[in-house]
């Protein structure tokens, strides 16, 4: 019974963490000046959000998609969707019951509009 309770708490913590990570990654992506820097910032923001909830070093996948400009997400009226996926290892399972600890897959999405009005660095032109 104790194992079930601890597992539920770990999964709930992971679900909250991955939801926060998706939100932070979406905001970081949209605030970046371009797509490549946005991807790097989104991954870093997701890692930090997961770490804030005690999930350091877990596998992480950050996927970005956008409409209506799928190859240039930082266009004026794009809507960016960021999906963060990870897993939570379930606690206290003895090694004699199998190789690796069982895990629970978690993912979350967050959608952010880029916005019609953006700051433009005139010196870059």
- Which pLDDT tens digit goes with each residue over 46-66? 999 999 998 898 999 999 999
Report the helix count and the strand count for the chain, using DSSP H and E.
2, 3
Count how many domains the chain has.
Answer: 1
**Local confidence band at 120 (pLDDT 50, 70, 90 cut-offs):** low
- The 10 Å Cβ neighbour count of residue 11 is 15
Range of the domain at 59: 2-93+102-119
Q: Are the beta carbons of 68 and 107 closer than 8 angstroms?
A: no
Give the pLDDT of residue 5: 77
Give the pLDDT of residue 89: 80
| Average pLDDT taken over every residue of the chain | 84
pLDDT in tens, 15-44: 999 999 999 999 999 999 889 999 999 999
Q: How far apart are CA 80 and CA 18, in angstroms?
A: 17
Q: Is residue 125 part of a domain?
A: no
Give the pLDDT of residue 119: 58
Q: Is residue 124 part of a domain?
A: no
pLDDT of 80 above 70: yes
pTM: 0.81
pLDDT of 118 above 70: no
Q: Is residue 60 part of a domain?
A: yes
Give the pLDDT of residue 84: 97
How far lies 34's CA from each of 97, 108, 113, in Å? 48, 23, 14
Mean pLDDT, residues 83-95 taken together: 79
Q: Exposed, middle or buried: residue 120 (CB in 10 Å: 0-12, 13-18, 19+)?
A: exposed
């Amino acid at each position: 019974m104790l194992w079930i309770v601890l597992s539920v708490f770990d999964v709930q913590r992971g679900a909250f963490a991955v939801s926060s990570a998706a939100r932070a990654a979406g905001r970081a992506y949209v605030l970046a000046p371009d797509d490549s820097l946005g991807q790097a910032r989104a991954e870093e923001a997701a890692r930090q959000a997961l770490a804030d909830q005690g999930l350091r070093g877990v596998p992480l996948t950050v996927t970005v998609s956008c409409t209506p400009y799928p190859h240039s997400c930082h266009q004026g009226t794009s809507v960016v969707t960021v999906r963060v996926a990870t897993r939570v290892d379930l606690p206290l399972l003895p090694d004699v019951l199998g190789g690796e600890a069982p895990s629970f897959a978690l993912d979350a999405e967050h959608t952010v509009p880029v916005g019609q009005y953006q700051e433009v660095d005139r010196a870059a032109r």
